[in-house]
Structure 1
Amino acid sequence: MKTRPIQRTRLVPHTVNGKTEMVLDRYEVEVPVPPRDWDRLILNAVTAAAGLLVAVAVVWSTASIGDLLARVTIAPAAYAAAVAFDLAWILCMAVEWLARYDPKRAKLPRNMGHGALAVAMIAVGAHGWLAGQEAIGIIGAVVSGIVKALWTIVLRHHAKPLDDKTQQWVDKQRAEAGGELAMVAINRELTRARGLVDAEENALRMFPDEAPEPPEDEEESPEGIPALPMSGPMTIADAVRMAVSCGVIAPDAVLRYVRQVADANAKESSVERTLREVRKGA
């Protein structure tokens, strides 16, 4: 059995001048080397070769289709558009790779890739036919077909379909994670909306409605507002209604009254919102 040395560390006591400290001690051990995974090496080599063939097919198709389109437009635009023909089925293969554990999700990009490949092959064949080289056109079109077939074989070898129950479990987990991800955007939207509401309330609070003057014959408190009944306890809404019924609608005065008879910790924004609702209802 083959082995290889690896370095490890451990804490050991070390004493200098009568004082002991724990220090790192580095040492080597021999560990067995696992046998070479030839299956993985071959698969990696095949995958790399398939990727190289994709590059070759893209160059050939781009040259052929670009020359075809250059008959009716400028060369830079023609060759830029020619790249899209092969890039379409290559991107579909990439999405199919991402869905290799879910055959249902991989079906759509697989079919779309076949359709995009057919269009690219037809364009390459048309270029050869218009150039008077039908055989070369057919052979050139087959190049892309061979590369796509090879990649289909490689993808199927990499794919690991799940059994029905495991697939259902994965779908539920994916749906749950998707719901959590959606709630991030929804919570951001709600937070933005609440921020706009708060900003609107703050803007309106800077210009409070002028309170009407109380009747001259009504008894006034030392602060210049009508005397309010101090009976309690009552809710914030009841306290606001009582203040409004007594002719007190100044936000500061209503807030002081609510804190006296209803809730000593009542928030200013809640009291003002209730005051607006009561006045609107009145």
Structure 2
Amino acid sequence: MKTRRIERTRLVPHTVDGETEMVLDREIIEVPAPPPDWDQRVRTAVTIGAAILVTVSITWTTASVGALLAMSTIAVVAYAAGIAFDATWIMCMGAEWLLRYDPKRAALPRRAGYWALAVSMGAVFAHGYLTREWVVGLVGALVSALAKGGWTIAMRVHARPLDPRTQQWVAKRRAAVDGQLAMIPIRRELQRGQHLIAAEQHALADSGSADPDQSGPDPQSGSGNPLPTTAGPMTLKDAVRTAKDSGITDPDAVLRYVRKVADANAKPETVARYMRMAG
């Protein structure tokens, strides 16, 4: 039986001069080696092969399409644009893989990938046609098709098909999580809006733009006197003095009046300080 050596770490008591402490003890032990996982090795080989095919494809397509576009523009721009032809269907296959558990959403990138592949193959063949090398153009166009086919096989090797009921279960769970994730930016946007509204109200209160109706008595003022009217912008200190001069002596009533005519966010301790200053 094959074995392999591993390092094991554990805490053991160690005593020095009668004092015991728990210290780390490391030892090398041999354990049975698991049998080789050939399925995983083949799966890895298929994935590596597909990646190599995609790399070859994008290199060949970039060279061919870049040479085609270089007939009418500078080479740097032409070859940069040539990358887009194979990169598009590769990106679509990546999106299809990410949406593999949502067949309805995966259908769009799958169709778009095939269309992008057809455009890429057509561009490579067009370069061979214009250079009078039809065979080279045709074979070069098949490179992209082979790369997409290899990557499709690799995706199927890694795929985990779901039965219809399990697919519905996954869709419901994903929808619930997606809803929670969607609420994160929404809550942030609402919080920003609330802060802006509060800041605007505070600015309006400081500028004295509010013109509340001060007629009528305040049932909680502690005096039966009507609330004093305002005749222009009023600061927090002026509002406290006006309330005191009008016979309002209850601190809560003064605070309500100040918040009404001067500052909706006035603090009780600030109003109390101004009341003491006003005598």
With the shorter chain as reference, the TM-score category is 0.7 to 0.9
1:30 equivalent in structure 2 = 30
Q: Which amino acid aligns with 1:246?
A: P
Q: Give the alignment of 1:129-148 within 5 angstroms.
A: 129-148=129-148
Matched positions, count: 247
Is 1:105 aligned to residue 105 of structure 2? Answer: yes
Is 1:207 aligned to residue 207 of structure 2? Answer: yes
Is 1:119 aligned to residue 119 of structure 2? Answer: yes
Instruction: Work out the percentage of aligned pairs sharing the same amino acid.
Output: 51
**Partner-residue secondary structure (3-state), 1:206:** helix
**In structure 2, what is the Cα distance between the partners aligned to 1:162 and 1:210?**
63
Distance 1:4-1:66 versus aligned 2 partners, 3 A rule: same
Displacement of 1:106 after TM fit? 2.4
2:274 equivalent in structure 1 = none
Displacement of 1:207 after TM fit? 2.8
How big is each residue's C-alpha offset from its partner over 1:175-230, in whole Å with a ceiling of 9 and x where there is no partner?
11111112111111111111111211221222336999x9xxxxxxxxxxx9x77x
1:259 equivalent in structure 2 = 252
TM-score (norm 2): 0.77
2:226 equivalent in structure 1 = 246
TM-score (norm 1): 0.76
**In structure 2, what is the Cα distance between the partners aligned to 1:178 and 1:9?**
42
1:18 equivalent in structure 2 = 18
Distance 1:270-1:22 versus aligned 2 partners, 3 A rule: farther
2:270 equivalent in structure 1 = none
Distance 1:247-1:160 versus aligned 2 partners, 3 A rule: same
Unaligned runs of 5+ in 2: 231-238, 265-279
**In structure 1, what is the Cα distance between the partners aligned to 2:260 and 2:27?**
70
Displacement of 1:34 after TM fit? 1.0
**Partner-residue secondary structure (3-state), 1:9:** strand
1:92 equivalent in structure 2 = 92
How big is each residue's C-alpha offset from its partner over 1:67-89, in whole Å with a ceiling of 9 and x where there is no partner?
11122222222111111111100
1:70 equivalent in structure 2 = 70
CA RMSD of aligned residues (A): 3.2
Contact 1:102 1:162 (8 Å CA) reproduced? no
How big is each residue's C-alpha offset from its partner over 1:124-173, in whole Å with a ceiling of 9 and x where there is no partner?
11111111111211111111111111111111121112122221121122
Distance 1:99-1:211 versus aligned 2 partners, 3 A rule: closer
**In structure 2, what is the Cα distance between the partners aligned to 1:177 and 1:155?**
25
Contact 1:102 1:161 (8 Å CA) reproduced? no
Displacement of 1:31 after TM fit? 1.8
**Partner-residue secondary structure (3-state), 1:178:** helix
**In structure 2, what is the Cα distance between the partners aligned to 1:207 and 1:42?**
75
Unaligned runs of 5+ in 1: 215-225, 230-237, 274-282
Displacement of 1:9 after TM fit? 2.6
